Structure 1
């Protein structure tokens, strides 16, 4: 999910209630069985296709439509950065698959961190991930308004744009309230619809490819390694969302097998679209024009087929892409607090679930995101809002690091592992690559984002202290 490069300036500048106390789950138990009340025609477990669509749909938001122009100043050396990042993202996907095979419960990184390191580590994973989701949802909605404005003019007045952003958040939330059956249907349809135009450019552009448009291999100054690192910093956050199937593992059929497969297939599919799409745009739009382009996919479509309908087509594709992304992230924003609430590490209300969806978590998330959106438009300045979005790029890495650390912990301690030296070595190498990728994400967030993100984490420490004290008093 890449949103920081797509957030336009604000206008006018461009669940059944659990009994209290909530019982703590057995960390080794599988929660692949639905809680009472989650059955029925509106609650349905995700199969492999929907789980894969959830991963791909959450990774690919609206940022892909600006990525080629973002990395064009570095030259085609940025394609090497894509390749390096893809290796790291797939390594992280494989780690999530192995962890889900060991423990296929809803919650993903929260479950893995808590099982390996205890309640506090689990809470930090859940807290950081929750902040990431609802702030990012607000960012996605504001960015989507920029694409909606191409189809229906809404940016002429600040509050018209604000209402449009709120509608784009609440429509996916309503699909979530309707049940997992509708969440899965919306996610599958939106993923298919977004991939049709993306593949049109990614694959069709190869037939219009002109090597003279590529420009220099290394367009900037300095070393090639420095250019790879600089362009990678622009691309790092494009792979956020690889954990999507693991977070919703409790809603995936045959989770021990399908979560890992969906995570790897979805991540690899998103990487293929990213790479081919960027390469096709590089080869169809002249480099000097691409560097200053504000709509590279539009320019590519117009160059390939002529006419001026590229802007409308790309705007529609981006809007569908981001709506589907909002649908998936709204579900994920409620799943981790739900898992933590069942263990007594989040307020008990978050454990309420109806039709397979943690409704209280969805409601709280969409309300917080809506308030942040309104504040963004009311303040008339996107600086605070954009700073918060940058902070989420750091908070997202906290559960990643804890999950990869949990995998390393299991491998080194030998817990739950069969005596298979070759597999242990292979999993150890993959976990090490995934850990390096997660640390690279932290470094790419920047000093300011890390500093402010740590403040968000420390605020969570206070919340944990209050919840832990209440739980101990009740016990």
Structure 2
């Protein structure tokens, strides 16, 4: 029997960084230009908050004995309702994020082919990409994963290149002129872009999924997660600020393909077009993978009884086709409801809503660390350090919620409350399932939660569980 060769800490660190350097950065230079170079303050805040989150998630992954990623973490403190709402909001955030990825690809396609689409046309093009990438998944995950692993480099290579070679074209005068073009106070600028910068780090929790595949996970997983997050932060900060010193602020604000624009200025328009083409392919590859992943998230939750059984039905290839079609209908409605004359504004609306819904499981996971460490008999002094870091991560999460804006907070809050209403129906079904499963002498679900043992069913297969994400987080 062969023994699988485990990753070194440096290999896991690189994997963690690559998993975050996905399509989330593709429109970031344009969004940050709306604040100016002073938005670097937001980057510094987000980098600090993301490092705290990354460390806390690494500790959760090391201590938790429940399946289901963040849902399993939340269950220690909040029981099955916490597991459910974590799964629900996480799945919802992925659903929304995929629409934003599709809009990103449409923005680059417009510039690449020198066409100007109206707001309705942008909406229809966004929907078309969602439909194409959903139908392409009906044959199974094998090809999807391979495509995503290749196309993600269409984003990573240009971002790394502009972070290094781009300095030869950097103009301090251009950067200074775009430093604070809207005369914001420093604290206003610091908070203005927290949500959009967090968008680039979403998925950092998935870096803990490979704990079993690395040597000495107790020591190496936290090192890799922190190192990968820090590496991604450096690349994000450097690349967006180099671009701000190459392209005038006003030109950057109006661009729907900022990386294509900067490469056209650095080299030639043909090189700019090549970069735009690579980024379109990267976005489509990312979307292809994440359309499959979000359906798997809903399927796994349906398998546990948290979502309707219809989400668990699969075809001959093991693909939850009906679930994909239901989720596609919701995404189609989202794309139509968020139509805006300004593509960047539509992207902004969706990103803020995705961030708000994703922060719910983040906050629940941070809150559960005290309980998790208690039941794991972690020494008090070590637990105190972790709890302080979790407190910093939670404080940052609340700042990101505030930065997301009133509309995103309202819609995200309503969506979360609706989820709790649905839990009333879910709980009845779980009780019936437990009654069937436990017809032999056993405990009730409530008793199981009290003693800290897992429910005897498979939990959510999220990017933090044994189901690998096919590609970088959107």
Same fold (TM over 0.5): yes
User: Is the Cα contact below 8 Å between 1:169 and 1:370 reproduced in 2?
Assistant: no
Equivalent residue for 1:432, pick from 386, 391, 398: 391
User: Is the Cα contact below 8 Å between 1:108 and 1:336 reproduced in 2?
Assistant: no
Counting only pairs closer than 5 Å after superposition, residues 308-323 of structure 1 correspond to structure 2 as: 308-323=269-284
Provide the C-alpha distance between the structure 2 equivalents of 1:389 and 1:300, rounded to a whole number of angstroms. Answer: 23
Provide the C-alpha distance between the structure 2 equivalents of 1:382 and 1:459, rounded to a whole number of angstroms. Answer: 30
User: Is the Cα contact below 8 Å between 2:151 and 2:281 reproduced in 1?
Assistant: yes
Q: SS of the counterpart of 2:260?
A: helix
Q: 1:65 aligned to 2:26? A: yes
Supply the RMSD in Å over aligned alpha carbons.
4.0
Q: 1:469 aligned to 2:428? A: yes
Task: State the Cα distance separating 1:277 from its structure 2 match.
Answer: 0.9
Shift of the 134–222 alpha-carbon distance from structure 1 to 2, 3 Å rule, reads: closer
Task: State the Cα distance separating 1:438 from its structure 2 match.
Answer: 1.2
Q: SS of the counterpart of 1:325?
A: helix
Task: For residues 359-381 of structure 1, give each alpha carbon's deviation from its aligned partner in whole angstroms, at most 9, with x where no partner exists.
Answer: 32x75245423553367459976
Name the residue aligned to 2:151.
190
Unaligned runs of 5+ in 2: 436-474
Shift of the 353–373 alpha-carbon distance from structure 1 to 2, 3 Å rule, reads: closer
Q: SS of the counterpart of 1:467?
A: helix
Q: SS of the counterpart of 2:23?
A: coil
Task: State the Cα distance separating 1:399 from its structure 2 match.
Answer: 0.5
Task: State the Cα distance separating 1:173 from its structure 2 match.
Answer: 4.6
Task: For residues 152-183 of structure 1, give each alpha carbon's deviation from its aligned partner in whole angstroms, at most 9, with x where no partner exists.
Answer: 58876999877754563356556765555544
Name the residue aligned to 1:201.
162
Task: For residues 29-77 of structure 1, give each alpha carbon's deviation from its aligned partner in whole angstroms, at most 9, with x where no partner exists.
Answer: xxxxxxxxxxxxxxx9997869965874466325x23323333354432
Name the residue aligned to 1:416.
376
Q: 1:460 aligned to 2:413? A: no
Shift of the 418–136 alpha-carbon distance from structure 1 to 2, 3 Å rule, reads: closer
User: Is the Cα contact below 8 Å between 2:51 and 2:229 reproduced in 1?
Assistant: yes
Provide the C-alpha distance between the structure 1 equivalents of 2:165 and 2:182, rounded to a whole number of angstroms. Answer: 29
Q: SS of the counterpart of 1:345?
A: coil
Q: 1:111 aligned to 2:109? A: no
Equivalent residue for 2:49, pick from 73, 83, 88: 88
Provide the C-alpha distance between the structure 1 equivalents of 2:311 and 2:221, rounded to a whole number of angstroms. Answer: 24
Shift of the 340–254 alpha-carbon distance from structure 1 to 2, 3 Å rule, reads: farther
Name the residue aligned to 1:443.
402
Task: State the Cα distance separating 1:113 from its structure 2 match.
Answer: 0.7
Name the residue aligned to 2:129.
168
Shift of the 424–352 alpha-carbon distance from structure 1 to 2, 3 Å rule, reads: farther
Equivalent residue for 1:237, pick from 199, 205, 216: 199
Provide the C-alpha distance between the structure 2 equivalents of 1:260 and 1:330, rounded to a whole number of angstroms. Answer: 29
Counting only pairs closer than 5 Å after superposition, residues 381-400 of structure 1 correspond to structure 2 as: 390-400=352-362
Task: State the Cα distance separating 1:141 from its structure 2 match.
Answer: 1.6
Name the residue aligned to 2:305.
344
User: Is the Cα contact below 8 Å between 2:101 and 2:283 reproduced in 1?
Assistant: yes
Name the residue aligned to 1:298.
260
Provide the C-alpha distance between the structure 2 equivalents of 1:333 and 1:259, rounded to a whole number of angstroms. Answer: 25
Provide the C-alpha distance between the structure 1 equivalents of 2:281 and 2:338, rounded to a whole number of angstroms. Answer: 28
Shift of the 287–199 alpha-carbon distance from structure 1 to 2, 3 Å rule, reads: same
Shift of the 182–449 alpha-carbon distance from structure 1 to 2, 3 Å rule, reads: same
Name the residue aligned to 2:238.
276
Aligned positions, number: 423
Task: State the Cα distance separating 1:298 from its structure 2 match.
Answer: 3.1
Q: 1:134 aligned to 2:134? A: no
Task: State the Cα distance separating 1:204 from its structure 2 match.
Answer: 0.9
User: Is the Cα contact below 8 Å between 1:113 and 1:406 reproduced in 2?
Assistant: yes
Provide the C-alpha distance between the structure 1 equivalents of 2:414 and 2:78, rounded to a whole number of angstroms. Answer: 22
Shift of the 233–338 alpha-carbon distance from structure 1 to 2, 3 Å rule, reads: closer
Q: 1:333 aligned to 2:299? A: no
Task: State the Cα distance separating 1:440 from its structure 2 match.
Answer: 1.4
Provide the C-alpha distance between the structure 2 equivalents of 1:45 and 1:168, rounded to a whole number of angstroms. Answer: 39
Shift of the 145–119 alpha-carbon distance from structure 1 to 2, 3 Å rule, reads: same
Task: For residues 223-276 of structure 1, give each alpha carbon's deviation from its aligned partner in whole angstroms, at most 9, with x where no partner exists.
Answer: 322222224354333322222345xx3897469938656644543343222112
Provide the C-alpha distance between the structure 2 equivalents of 1:218 and 1:65, rounded to a whole number of angstroms. Answer: 22
User: Is the Cα contact below 8 Å between 1:106 and 1:339 reproduced in 2?
Assistant: no
Q: SS of the counterpart of 1:418?
A: coil
Unaligned runs of 5+ in 1: 1-43
Provide the C-alpha distance between the structure 1 equivalents of 2:269 and 2:13, rounded to a whole number of angstroms. Answer: 37
Provide the C-alpha distance between the structure 2 equivalents of 1:78 and 1:379, rounded to a whole number of angstroms. Answer: 26
Q: SS of the counterpart of 1:189?
A: helix
Q: SS of the counterpart of 2:176?
A: coil
Shift of the 132–160 alpha-carbon distance from structure 1 to 2, 3 Å rule, reads: same
TM-score (norm 1): 0.75
User: Is the Cα contact below 8 Å between 1:91 and 1:433 reproduced in 2?
Assistant: yes
Task: For residues 300-335 of structure 1, give each alpha carbon's deviation from its aligned partner in whole angstroms, at most 9, with x where no partner exists.
Answer: 223322x32254133223213322432443354245
